Structure 1
Amino acid sequence: MFLAAGVGQVLERLGGQGGLPLRVVLWDGREFPLSDEPLATVRVKRPQALTALSHPTLLSLAEAYVNGDLDLEGDLDAAIRAAESLARDEGGPLFVRDGAAPRSHTREEDSAAIRHHYDVANGFYALWLDPRMVYSCAYFRTESDSLEQAQLNKLDHICRKLRLDADEQFLDIGCGWGALILHAAKKYGARATGITLSEQQFEWTQRRIREEGLQHRCRVLLEDYRDHQSPAPYDKIASVGMFEHVGIANLPTYFATVRRLLRERGLFMNHGITSSSSDGVAVGMGAGEFIDRYVFPQGEIPHLHRVVRDMSDQDFEVHDVECLRPHYAKTLRHWSANFERRLSQAVMASSEKTARVWRLYLAGCAHAFDQRWTSIHQILASRQVNPGRTELPLTREWIYR
């Protein structure tokens, strides 16, 4: 009797949300459309899922799905928009501000966090990334660009910004599966080094270097960025989608390390996710606790002004700042669509729970970037310890040629 009353209360509450485009199917087969044209189906597989639905937050709804208490079918974007509407109506915070003490980000903690995220399996990522395995925001020159073309655009965009030239020493901090160092060596003739903490990325990139016959121009190292040493300073350095793992309190150490490794007037391009909160506190993507707990442990994202300030404190002169937020929303929608098409293969390549986490994460992040809950910026700077002219042209036409 209590269970029946609970079901009725939940359905009455959901039905009062202004016609959510959902169909709710209970564990006993009963169906309850919440609008005339439901776009997605929420299957309540266990009675305990009613707790998440009766007082919904983005975290409680996400965990109910990840734990298998709920299933989602149909238009995943519509389901996520409905979850946002439910959470807003509940009156709780959509954004989770991290008021805890700064994380220590020891080498051991950072290494474990990287393994958690990136060492799921190379085959798992290959299911939904482009053929080069570029796992960062793409650059769409036209609306019709494919994901593969947009990622190639991005690699060129970075190399152009850095004015990368033949035989220049180039370092990619957090090189992923090696796409940028391979591209820099093949197309621009650079002598490229990549560093990563992921053993699977390291092994993949080593194999790619051998297959491309680029051993004389490329190398990849398995190490922490803080431990990297070079006999001579690099001409150019890039970091793409890595500094989110550094920790806000460690940004001075991060930029000081880049300064140590870069020659005077050398160029540095930092590409990373930034918070939309101007108070400088890390803001979750509508479900920050979920991201931290299941996807990016130890992840922290600063506001743009904090990044520029800490770069300037290390004698970097900032020359160009470009917001790529719409590009990342589009990139994530490509990834999410690929993941949806290969969902059963993703389960086989990882586990049921892992696939559920990533399915929700990719679609949820696409929504977060669409809504400007978070952003992403490329910042081009030069090491300017000594006063004098930069090596850059007077205008920025060279970036967009």
Structure 2
Amino acid sequence: MIRHLVPHLESRLLGLPAPMSVQLPEGPLLGAPDAPVKMSFSHWSSLTRLRAGQIGALAEEYVEGKLKLEGRMRDVMAVAASLLPANPSHSDTGWWTGLQRQIRSLRTHTPEKDAAQIQFHYDVSDDFYALWLDPHRVYSCAYYREDAMTLAQAQQAKLDHICRKLMLQAGERFLDIGTGWGGLLLWAAEHYGVDATGITLSKNQYAHVQAQIAKKGLQGRVRVELRDYRHLDEDKPFDKISSVGMFEHVGRAQMPAYFSKIMRLLAPGGLVLNHGITAGGLDNRQLGAGMGNFIEKYIFPGGELLHVSDVLTHLARSGLEMVDTENLRPHYARTLWDWSDALEARLDEAQQVLAAPGVNARAEKILRAYRLYLAGSAMCFEQGWISLHQMLAARPAEAMADEAIQGAQSAYPFRREYMYNTPDS
């Protein structure tokens, strides 16, 4: 038996930033009875994971019903961060580990597997996501231009921030790769007058966007396709391209092909904005302490993170020129806390939605997994273990007649003032 861990646990509980109690498998309670965070274990073996700081393994046991967890998610994550033995963004960077990751990435990211992985996450239930997302169902980092902004206001600010960065103009051909529930696609069409095309691998999202296009009467200049980015026609290039919250699913091994495809899809002088999660460490593909494995199993199968320096290297090798990069890491922490708080306030509704006939047989497990995923991700962004970058790039062209500064070779003016001016439309 491993009851010898009890003295160690008692001393460990005293050093935590937030009070926590531990219910042992056979009755004794360690810590204060009224502690804001309580873990109840049904197996002694689980205590070894607690001692080792294997947060991901503990999260898996909670999802599977082997561990009971009580307390506000914000308090739970304060405790979780203190239990980690080391920075989870540090990892083994040896050549053998890198080779194994490259082989796995190649095998994981085929068009067929990517479609299945996207549908695993995004097709859980539209009604479930609607409970905690903003009215536009924007499922990516918001932009809190002002501290007092609500989530809905910050998401609108983000949509406009992207459109301004891309200098969208009426009549331009605009492509949104990984269009989600259509928030950016529809915003760009309605507020900037572009001819917009969106692609997604999610059947639920495709149906939702189709319905929104029809509802808004935008059939003439907005369309959505159920299509892999690799299968897009290159015959008629786009003036502007966005990819928001999508390239995390591309895979390290496919990154050169991804940016090369964007380069060929973009008209000379055009702009592309790549917005997505990046690694906090230079070489890790996912977070340590079992957290990456938890995300892989329950949330985003096939997801891989790269450090922003790696992303920019792949971008440059494709022939694109990076013209502006912005780190929005704290904004994503706040976004995730807003999502987490919204879900926590509607847990009963979420359970009912997920358990509705024909929706999902894994309702309880999905809800427990998402509670940890949202709050845990917020903690990771706050700690700097993962990050979020918007990278604006151009496809260089020969000198353009309307370029703002000689030698620009693109629509980008090489001055940031335009991003913050009030748009005319």
TM-score by length of structure 2 reads: 0.87
Secondary structure of 2:254's aligned partner: helix
In the alignment, residue 185 of structure 1 is paired with which amino acid?
A: A
Alpha-carbon contact 2:13-2:20 (below 8 Å) kept = no
Alpha-carbon contact 2:91-2:284 (below 8 Å) kept = no
| Higher mean C-alpha displacement, 307-316 vs 50-59 | 50-59
1:146 and 2:150 aligned: yes
In the alignment, residue 392 of structure 2 is paired with which amino acid?
A: L
Residue 54 of structure 1, CA deviation = 4.4
1:67-110 Cα offsets, whole Å, 9 max, x none, are 1122222222222222232232xx69675558333212111111
Secondary structure of 1:127's aligned partner: helix
Q: Distance in 2 between matches of 1:15 and 1:74?
A: 16
Picking from 282, 287, 290, the partner of 1:284 is: 287
Aligned to 1:373: 385
C-alpha change, 1:18 and 1:154, in structure 2 (3 Å) is closer
Aligned to 1:321: 325
Aligned to 1:32: 30
1:245-290 Cα offsets, whole Å, 9 max, x none, are 1111211101111111110001100001111223x44242762121
Secondary structure of 2:219's aligned partner: coil
C-alpha change, 1:92 and 1:398, in structure 2 (3 Å) is closer
1:247 and 2:244 aligned: no
Aligned to 2:80: 83
Residue 320 of structure 1, CA deviation = 0.6
Q: Distance in 2 between matches of 1:385 and 1:290?
A: 44
1:235 and 2:247 aligned: no
1:363 and 2:396 aligned: no
Secondary structure of 2:101's aligned partner: coil
Picking from 286, 299, 305, the partner of 1:301 is: 305
1:205 and 2:203 aligned: no
Alpha-carbon contact 1:324-1:377 (below 8 Å) kept = yes
Secondary structure of 1:64's aligned partner: helix
Q: Distance in 1 between matches of 2:419 and 2:186?
A: 20
Picking from 163, 171, 174, the partner of 2:167 is: 163
Aligned to 1:193: 197
Alpha-carbon contact 1:369-1:375 (below 8 Å) kept = yes
Q: Distance in 2 between matches of 1:82 and 1:393?
A: 47
1:132 and 2:130 aligned: no
Residue 49 of structure 1, CA deviation = 3.7
Q: Distance in 1 between matches of 2:330 and 2:353?
A: 30
Alpha-carbon contact 1:295-1:357 (below 8 Å) kept = yes
1:128-173 Cα offsets, whole Å, 9 max, x none, are 1111100000000111100000000000000000000111110000
Alpha-carbon contact 1:95-1:288 (below 8 Å) kept = no
In the alignment, residue 259 of structure 1 is paired with which amino acid?
A: M
Secondary structure of 1:327's aligned partner: helix
Q: Distance in 2 between matches of 1:375 and 1:340?
A: 24
Q: Which runs of 4+ in 1 moved over 4 A?
A: 26-30, 45-48, 91-98, 385-388
Picking from 334, 340, 348, the partner of 2:352 is: 348
In the alignment, residue 116 of structure 2 is paired with which amino acid?
A: A
1:71 and 2:68 aligned: yes
Q: What runs of 5+ residues in structure 2 fail to find an aligned partner?
A: 355-362, 400-406
Alpha-carbon contact 1:10-1:53 (below 8 Å) kept = no
Residue 319 of structure 1, CA deviation = 0.9
Alpha-carbon contact 1:284-1:291 (below 8 Å) kept = no
| Higher mean C-alpha displacement, 16-25 vs 199-208 | 16-25
1:60 and 2:57 aligned: yes
Q: Distance in 2 between matches of 1:174 and 1:383?
A: 20
Residue 335 of structure 1, CA deviation = 0.4
1:392 and 2:395 aligned: no
Residue 386 of structure 1, CA deviation = 4.4
Picking from 40, 44, 66, the partner of 1:43 is: 40
Q: Distance in 2 between matches of 1:183 and 1:249?
A: 32
Residue 27 of structure 1, CA deviation = 5.9
Secondary structure of 1:369's aligned partner: helix
C-alpha change, 1:94 and 1:41, in structure 2 (3 Å) is farther
| Higher mean C-alpha displacement, 21-30 vs 151-160 | 21-30
| Higher mean C-alpha displacement, 215-224 vs 52-61 | 52-61
Residue 309 of structure 1, CA deviation = 1.4
1:20-74 Cα offsets, whole Å, 9 max, x none, are 5112345666543359x72222233555543433444112211121111222222
C-alpha change, 1:378 and 1:147, in structure 2 (3 Å) is same
C-alpha change, 1:18 and 1:118, in structure 2 (3 Å) is closer
Q: Distance in 2 between matches of 1:50 and 1:383?
A: 54
Aligned to 1:310: 314
Q: Distance in 2 between matches of 1:230 and 1:321?
A: 26
Residue 310 of structure 1, CA deviation = 1.3
C-alpha change, 1:94 and 1:192, in structure 2 (3 Å) is closer
What is the percent sequence identity of the aligned residues?
45
Q: Distance in 2 between matches of 1:133 and 1:92?
A: 33
Alpha-carbon contact 1:244-1:299 (below 8 Å) kept = yes
Secondary structure of 2:132's aligned partner: coil
